[in-house]
Structure 1
Amino acid sequence: MVGTDSTVVSLRGLSVVAAGRALVDRLHLDVPAGRVVGLVGPNGSGKSTALRCVYRALRPTSGAVLLDGADLTSLKLRDSARSIAALTQESHTELDFTVEEVVALGRAPHARGNHPLTARERELCRRAMDRLDVAHLADRSVLTLSGGERQRVLVARALVQEPRVLVLDEPTNHLDVRHQVELLSFLHGSGLTVLTALHDLNLAAQVCGRVAVLSSGRLVACGAPAEILTPELVRKVFGVDATVVPHPRTGVPQLLYDFAPSPSDAPASADAPALAEGPHS
């Protein structure tokens, strides 16, 4: 699929206030069709809270989330679930379902009564499990899976939903390097409209066409990674020093963080007493 630049999801003056504190403060953000947009920022910057408003786990205090120009709150939950699939940090699968059964749950928004899956839907599940490298686990209980295996199962379930928009909150959590790269490479080339929160700025730079930087609930900057991820911004928002270099193959910015040596790494003073090598006689 080839995306266009028409906007699918818009956050318009989105604010969430809890206990007198603004978790998200007048956030404006557009997510174009077929693009991957990444939310980055320190812990507590409002990334997950904003995403919860998009997949309707949280109602904003003010402002709105628009889907194709329509306020999400004007849609039935079932209708919005057919368009928006979410992978959340709180995704739990505590029931003793098989992997195949969990993936098939992605068809729930489209189901009519208790009708079994059609041949097309079964094939959709099979392809999603193949894509996320969990087909060999189809008959396993999800309760027996590692964190990374379970994460891939939940992404497969979201794909089976056939959404127009994928909302992913830290989708690379628990994944090893290979599966991180495979998942983000798939998202980058899928043509799906993706809004994702990521902690790893280098992964965000590789996969996202647009990066939105949040700090204390507010949008600090938004644009292409090469324009946004500068040493000055990283220092201001994240409080660390970094050198930004182009990736040798793709040219996208990559951050090399400057680590100050800890006191234990400092060379010993000549006046410091030597440690005894053995018990005193």
Structure 2
Amino acid sequence: MDLRLDGLSVVTDGKSLVRGLSLDVPDGQVVGLVGPNGSGKSTALRCVYRALRPSSGTVWVGERDLARLSLRQSARTIAAMTQDGAVDFDFTVEEVVALGRAPHLQGNQALSGRERGLCERAMHQLDIGHLAQRGVLTLSGGERQRVLLARALVQEPSILILDEPTNHLDVRHQVELLSLLRGSGLTVLVVLHDLNLAAAACDRLGVLAGGRLVTSGTPADVLTPELVADVFGVTATVVPHPLTGGPQLLYSLGSSR
């Protein structure tokens, strides 16, 4: 399912956080948002998973205006893993993952056999099956991150929104998570700070600065030394990845502006 941000703006307390952002996320593609801290990336995502109402503009889900969908309808279509996805009660891992089925259930309806299988498969994919009976509050930050992503996958969304999903993850789980996204077939909009991970994981990138879209395109088109210097204020050499040929950035320490 296509996702489209159409002239999205967010103004809070007289300050423009996002300014006229238009971005297409085609069906089945992984599109990354990159930019410096405070550039509006997370604010834009909050508009998509309805934690924040845009001041103007429209989020289109396929041909439908997101604002016209019921909360249950949008929760069946869009799943999100946020930076602040805290779990305050010590549910077990399998209980937290099962919460992803909530938009599809009525009242205290029990999970079906199929739904229990979805939960088990998601926990296996995220390498947390062995933690199923652990209290989520006893987990490390990286383990908890994978639990929350499993919960989002169990929701069976068409669109997946991820805000810094690789935070707290070790290298192995970063690679596995991004590989999972690439092979999921879902429409994915993801915020990443690591430009090399973004280049490897994303079909397209949108670069934000000061709440505005600076440019968008393939990682090879977007991640140039000139753009990295202008937007991020650092000097970088761009080299082809030895296996994939995609762009990889080598930073020069001590040469930031």
TM-score by length of 1: 0.90
Pairing 1:153–2:144 present: no
Matches within 5 A, 1:109-148: 109-148=103-142
SS of the equivalent of 2:50 reads coil
- Quick one: which amino acid aligns to residue 183 of structure 2? G
Structure 2 runs not aligned, ≥5 long = none
- Quick one: which amino acid aligns to residue 246 of structure 1? P
Whole-angstrom distance in 2 between the partners of 1:220 and 1:32: 19
1:276 aligns to what?
A: none
Structure 1 runs not aligned, ≥5 long = 1-6, 262-281
| Mapped contact 1:10–1:69 kept (Cα < 8 A) | no
Query: Which of residues 192, 195, 198 in structure 2 aligns to 1:198?
Result: 192
1:171 aligns to what?
A: 165
- Quick one: which amino acid aligns to residue 202 of structure 2? C
Output one character per residue of 1:234-278: Cα deviation in whole Å (capped at 9) or x when no partner. Answer: 0000000000000000000000000128xxxxxxxxxxxxxxxxx
Query: Which of residues 220, 238, 248 in structure 1 aligns to 2:242?
Result: 248
How far did 1:19 drift?
Answer: 1.7
SS of the equivalent of 1:140 reads coil
Query: Which of residues 36, 43, 48 in structure 2 aligns to 1:49?
Result: 43
How far did 1:70 drift?
Answer: 1.4
How far did 1:205 drift?
Answer: 0.2
How far did 1:114 drift?
Answer: 1.3
1:101 aligns to what?
A: 95
1:39 aligns to what?
A: 33
- Quick one: which amino acid aligns to residue 214 of structure 2? V
SS of the equivalent of 2:176 reads helix
Whichever of the two has the greater Rg, that structure is 1
Q: Identity over aligned residues, as a percent?
A: 70
How far did 1:113 drift?
Answer: 2.2
Whole-angstrom distance in 2 between the partners of 1:237 and 1:99: 40
Whole-angstrom distance in 2 between the partners of 1:138 and 1:196: 26
How far did 1:59 drift?
Answer: 0.1
Query: Which of residues 181, 189, 209 in structure 2 aligns to 1:215?
Result: 209
Q: Between Structure 1 and Structure 2, how many residues are aligned?
A: 256
Pairing 1:20–2:9 present: no
